[in-house]
A and B are shown apart, each in its own frame.
Chain A
Amino acid sequence: MKALRKLLDNIKPHVEKGGKFHILHSGFDAVETLFFVPNTVTKTGAHIRDSIDLKRTMFVVVIALIPALLYGMWNIGYNHFLSIGTAAEGTFMDFFLFGFIKMLPLIIISYGVGLGLEIMFAQSRGHEVNEGFFVSGMLIPLIIPIDTPLWMVAIAVAFAVIIGKEVFGGTGMNIWNPALIARAFLFFAYPSSMSGDKIWVEGLNELSVVADGFSGATPLAVMAAEAGDTVVNFAQGIGNWSIAELIIGSYPGSIGETSVIAIGIGALILLATGVGSWKVMFSTFAGGLAMAYLFNILAPEEHIFMNMPAYFHLIIGGFAFGAVFMATDPVSATQTSKGKYIYGFLIGVIAVIIRVFNPAYPEGMMLSILLLNTFAPLIDYYVVQGNIKKRLKRIKVNA
């Protein structure tokens, strides 16, 4: 530790202003502050400062993502072996290691491209590297299909960092959630690689002989296809999956989104530490449930999707993942307390509407969050206007 400090102190003069390697300043700073909390002291304002910083905050989110990541790795393996019909012989470790090896390159590419760009931009602006990509870099691999080619991931990450974030001024200034921008970019730029029933399971595209009864479709795709056909007995689940399996999450889907239990553990971490906003999480779930119940009430008998029990919406697809990790992004969400309730509620409502009525987009969560990201400043504006009006009214009452 002391040796490391000494080493850093030796390098420091060379990367500081006037040094030979000033161009590496932001990169050096990122490494230095990774190992050591800087020795800066307060100059103006309060003399003492809270021990929290952005690094710790973001790190908590990464920790909260780990259960979903680990489960996702296992699920990659499990569904792969299921598709080739050898799942019964595979062990837990077989599944997990298979998924781990498939997942690792995605994570490396995501962090490598993203952090590289972040450091470049920080350097050109003379800023310190912002920790925002700590989280985005982990989120992106978790919300894409496992078979996404690595070059596509690299392009999507670059698009998200540059167009989604840096053009607005970097972390804290962006309008949309960068990870969702990456997802949306992939969705619209390479639709053939992002939709269909073959992309959610590793290797299914190239597989010549698929195991009997295995389709690779996600529960949402199954639901979208079934609309209007037969009556589904929801007590037995959807397609091949029982309700328990839907909750545990052993079905095909984006890597991190399937397990409500793993996401729930993450949610508990975010809520216990106060890093994630409970207001957004709660109201997103409330909005989704409310809209789905409304559909249940209004549904004509033949519309299967509208008749799907409301809570199913929360356990299939990316709803839970979006509500816990995406909607709560403090930068792109509303800033005010009242605004958060409105924002979350509308995300839930619109996600369910898109799911049920737009067969072209089986998953409504991504578009719903991006839409509400767009409207978040407007919601805040009206909440703040309420406060202004109250203050003006006070003058009139007194006058």
Chain B
Amino acid sequence: MTKVVKLKKGLNINIKGKAINELVDSGKSKLYAVMPTEFLGIIPKMLVKPDHVVKAGTPLFYNKYNPEVKFTSPVSGKVIAVERGARRKILRIVVEADAEMQYEDFKKGELSTLKKEDVIETLLNSGVWPFIRQRPYAIIANTKATPKAIFISGFDNAPLAPDYNFILKDQLDEFQNGVNVLAKLTEGKIHLNLDGKEENIFTSINGVEVNQIFGKHPSSTIGTQINHIDPINKGESVWYVNPQDVVIIGRLFSKGIFDAKRIVALTGSEVKAPKYYNTILGAKLDTITNGNLSDVNSRYISGNVLTGTQTEKDLYLSYYDSHVSVIPEGNYYEFFGWIMPRFKKFSMSKTYFSWLMPKKEYALDTNTNGGERAFVMSEQYEQVVPMDIYPVELLKACMAEDIDKMENLGINEVEEEDSTLCDYVCTAKIEAQETIRKGIDLMIKELS
């Protein structure tokens, strides 16, 4: 049964610099990187050294805790560096690409004849498995578990997020293949959740349960959708995959290669011409950003401005992201800013006038707009967490490291992404995402 979910809570933040529907070839990047720090809860064990020659799909490292889970190179070429940070933590493995791409062969086969174990094996060997993540905890899916359902969010309404209707319009066949592969992994349903307000290209996809979601951000996040469609109970797990990664899974089985092509949107108020680019996972994005950014002191974010990761200027495209946001830094003083009308600022609170102009786009910066305080205002988080969860109480339980209480209050159903707007709206400027992550890390540690 198709579900229609209507959410009243949430907040859409309109930021200047949304990508226009134009797809450009970025030109081939020379350098590519895989960053182990992106994969939560794993300890990387290296399989290659500098100067090793690799193909697209050759393992670079594996998870020490679960050696089956391998991470492979997105391109063929030569490993040129294993960059390490403090305490020799591996930050990234950089590969210099060949002129001609060569792929490891993962035997394409008739999907209908494959067993579940074979599918999992191919996914693991090709390094595609990490695209499949699980709730609770938002970590790479447990290979031993069977999920009660698999979720795909077919839209993203985070600030500046790319439009999957545009990105995937020519890749629906591979998307269908990917869905067919995922169907092998669960006995439950595959939920494809779509923005109820928009025309969708996904109507032709078979083998999925299409749910219509109405409402503001974070209605597009997996946590919110799971909470309303098929909430997780203790001991259960739900898997989820990003739409572009479903396509990669599809290609793995139809062509027998790890083809890590991806379309990425370059967005933000400091981008001269925000649009979409063809590129490859892990690519150094200087080919896209060169000459395309303003001179303003800016912040470069892989992902959206709420949950994305801050990187340096010539960032590498991160494993799970489909867009890059560039916004101005906010390290300036503003005279009597707290008392002024400030028409150029956006706020959920009606002490500003932005609520009168819901369509206006703002060039928001990274200023915290005030100092950190003790928690005073109540019910702010509740307005932006459209789940049956009490966010403040959950955060307090996380701070108190009270495992039972965290579980009772729904830690298994959330990740940072779901509390990102709490960060945003908080009058006291308290970090909610950080607290949630610490809570999740504690759960993993205590229960493993």
| Contact A274 B349, CB 8 Å, known A47-B327, A49-B423, A50-B369 | yes
Q: B204 at the A/B interface (Cβ < 8 Å)?
A: no
Residues from chain B with Cβ under 8 Å of A130 in the complex: 373-374
A391 within 8 A of partner (CB):
yes
The answer to the question of A37 belonging to the interface, with a C-beta cut-off of 8 Å to chain B, is: yes
Chain-A contact segment, one of B90-98, B109-117, B165-173, B330-338: B330-338
Q: Scoring B residues 313 to 357 as 1 if CB is less than 8 Å from chain A, else 0, what string do you get?
A: 000000000000101011111111111001001111111100000
Give the residues from 132 to 153 in chain A that come closer than 8 angstroms, CB to CB, to chain B: 132
* Bound: A192/B15 CA distance, A: 61
Docked complex: B32-53 residues within 8 A CB-CB of A: none
Q: Which of A304-339 contact B (CB under 8 A)?
A: 330-331, 333-337
Instruction: Indicate if B296 sits at the interface (CB-CB under 8 A).
Output: no
Check if B334 sits within 8 Å of A36, measured CB to CB: yes
B65 interface residue per 8 A CB criterion? no
Please provide the chain A residues from 245 to 294 with a CB less than 8 Å away from any CB of chain B in the complex.
Answer: 272-275, 277
In whole angstroms, what is the CA distance A132 to B339 when docked? Answer: 16
Find A53's partner among B374, B416, B429 (CB 8 Å cutoff). B429
B378 contacts the other chain (CB 8 A) = yes
Question: Which chain A residues lie closer than 8 Å to B335 at the CB level?
Answer: 1, 4-5, 35-36
User: Does chain A have a CB within 8 A of B156?
Assistant: no
B409 touches A37 (CB 8 A): no
With the chains together, A51 CA to B426 CA distance in Å? 10
Instruction: Please encode chain A, from 20 to 61, with 1 for each CB lying within 8 Å of some chain B CB and 0 for all others.
Output: 000000000000010111111110111111111111110110
Q: How many A-B residue pairs have CB under 8 A?
A: 212
Of the residues B231, B333, B365, B378, contact of A48 by C-beta under 8 Å: B365
Distance in angstroms between the alpha carbons of A330 and B13 in the assembled complex: 26
Query: Judging by beta carbons under 8 Å apart, are A387 and B364 in contact?
Result: no
Given that A37-B337, A60-B351 are known contacts, is A54 also in contact with B376, CB under 8 Å in the complex?
Answer: yes
Q: Which residue of A lies closest to B412 (CB)?
A: A391
Stretch at the interface among B194-202, B255-263, B281-289, B298-306: B298-306
One of A47, A132, A172, A331 near B366 (C-beta < 8 A):
A47
A170 on interface, CB distance cutoff 8 Å:
yes
Distance (whole angstroms) from the CB of B170 to the closest CB of chain A: 32
User: Is A93 positioned at the interface, with any CB of B under 8 Å from its CB?
Assistant: no
Interface positions of A from 346 to 399, Cβ below 8 Å from B: 380, 384, 387-388, 390-392, 394-395, 398
CB-based nearest A residue for B379: A337
Q: A48-B364, A59-B338 are in contact. Are A391 and B420 (CB under 8 A)?
A: no
Query: A179 CB to closest chain B CB, in angstroms?
Result: 15
With the chains together, A173 CA to B428 CA distance in Å? 13
Answer whether residue A171 sits at the interface, using C-beta atoms and an 8 A cutoff: yes
Taking a contact as CB atoms closer than 8 A, the residue among B325, B350, B375, B423 that contacts A45 in the complex is B423
Bound state CA distance, A277 and B383, in angstroms?
A: 13
Q: Which of B334, B378, B423, B425: most chain A Cβ within 10 A?
A: B378
Distance between Cα atoms of A331 and B374 in the complex (Å):
10
Residue of B nearest to A57 (CB): B427
Q: Which residues in B have their C-beta under 8 angstroms from that of A35?
A: 335-336
Asked if B338 and A337 make an inter-chain contact with CB atoms under 8 angstroms apart, the answer reads no
**Cross-chain contact A39 with B331 (CB below 8 angstroms):** yes
Q: Which residues of B contact A169 (CB under 8 A)?
A: 374
The residue in chain B whose Cβ has the minimal distance to the Cβ of A42 is B366
Whether A48 and B234, one on each chain, are in contact in the complex, defined by CB atoms closer than 8 angstroms, is no
Interchain CB contact (< 8 A) of A388 among B234, B382, B408, B434 = B408
Given A172-B374, A387-B388, are A46 and B423 neighbors across the interface (CB < 8 Å)?
A: yes
Cβ distance A382 to chain B, nearest Cβ, rounded Å: 12
In whole angstroms, what is the CA distance A169 to B231 when docked?
Answer: 38
Query: Measured between alpha carbons, how far is A274 from B159 in the docked complex, in Å?
Result: 24
A330 engages B378 (CB within 8 Å): yes
- B392 A335 Cβ-Cβ under 8 A: yes
Closest beta carbon of chain B to A172's beta carbon, Å: 3
B368 within 8 A of A: yes
Rounded to whole angstroms, the CA-CA distance of A172 and B305 in the bound complex is 29
Tell me the complex Cα distance, A181–B236, Å.
49
Whether A384 and B390, one on each chain, are in contact in the complex, defined by CB atoms closer than 8 angstroms, is yes
* Complex contact A45–B431 (CB within 8 A): yes
Shortest A237–chain B CB gap in Å is 37
Provide the A159-176 mask, 1 if CB < 8 A to any CB of B, else 0. Answer: 000000000011111000
A-B contact pairs, 29 of them (CB 8 A): A37-B370, A39-B367, A42-B368, A47-B306, A47-B308, A47-B325, A47-B366, A48-B305, A48-B366, A49-B367, A49-B369, A49-B429, A50-B349, A51-B345, A51-B352, A52-B370, A52-B425, A53-B369, A336-B378, A340-B379, A380-B393, A384-B390, A387-B389, A387-B409, A388-B408, A390-B388, A391-B410, A394-B233, A398-B236
Q: Which B residues fall within an 8 A CB radius of A?
A: 13, 15, 159, 231, 233-236, 299, 301, 305-308, 310, 325, 327, 329-339, 342, 345-352, 364-379, 382, 388-390, 392-393, 408-410, 416, 420-421, 423-429, 431-434
The chain A residues found within 8 Å of chain B, CB to CB, are 1, 4-5, 33, 35-42, 44-57, 59-60, 128, 130-132, 169-173, 272-275, 277, 330-331, 333-337, 340, 380, 384, 387-388, 390-392, 394-395, 398
**16 more CB-based (< 8 A) A-B contacts, given A51-B349, A336-B378, A390-B388:** A36-B337, A47-B299, A51-B346, A53-B370, A54-B427, A57-B351, A59-B339, A128-B373, A171-B374, A171-B376, A272-B350, A274-B351, A335-B378, A337-B382, A387-B388, A395-B234
Nearest first, the 9 A-B pairs at minimum CB distance are A53-B370, A172-B374, A37-B337, A46-B423, A51-B345, A36-B333, A45-B423, A52-B349, A37-B334
